[in-house]
Amino acid sequence: MNRLTPEQLAAGVQDLPSLPAVVMELLSSIEQEDIDISVLAKKVSYDQALTAKTLRLANSSSYGLQVKVTTIQQAITFLGFQTTRNLITAAAITGCFPSGRCAGFHDKAFWRHSIATAACARALARRMRFNQDIAFTAGLLHDIGRLVLVTGHPDAYDQVVAWHGQHGGDWQEAERAVLGIDHVDAGVALADHWNFSSTIRQVIACHHTPDTHGAGFLAAIVHVANAIVHALDLAGEDDELVPRVSNVAWDAMGLNEEAYLHLFRETELQFGEMSTILMA
SS3 track for 229-240: HHHHCCCCCCCC
Q: What is the pLDDT of residues 60-114, one digit of tens each?
A: 998 999 999 999 999 989 998 888 888 998 999 998 888 888 988 999 999 999 9
Distance, CA of 205 to CA of 214 (rounded, Å): 11
Residues 207, 222 contacting (CB under 8 angstroms): yes
User: Rounded to two decimals, what is the model's pTM?
Assistant: 0.92
Report d(CA 57, CA 137) in Å as an integer: 14
Sequence-separated (6 or more) residues with CB below 8 Å from residue 217: 128, 130, 252
The rounded distance, in Å, linking the Cα atoms of 253 and 127 is: 9
Task: Kindly state the average pLDDT of the residues 194-208.
Answer: 93
Would you say 223 and 210 are in contact if contact means Cβ atoms under 8 Å apart? yes
Check the CA dihedral 189-82-278-242 and report its sign.
Answer: positive
CA distances from 39 to 8, 34, 247 (A): 37, 12, 45
Backbone dihedral region for residue 131 (phi beyond 0: left; psi -120 to 50: alpha; all else: beta): beta
Exposed / middle / buried, residue 146 (Cβ in 10 Å: 0-12, 13-18, 19+): buried
Q: Please check the confidence at residue 18 and state whether its pLDDT lies above 80.
A: no
Mean pLDDT, the chain, as a whole number?
A: 90
pLDDT single digits (tens) 120-152: 999 999 999 999 999 999 999 999 999 999 999
* Mean pLDDT along residues 36-60: 88
Q: Would you place residue 17 in the very low, low, confident or very high pLDDT band (cuts 50, 70, 90)?
A: confident
Sign of the CA dihedral running 139, 143, 145, 151: negative
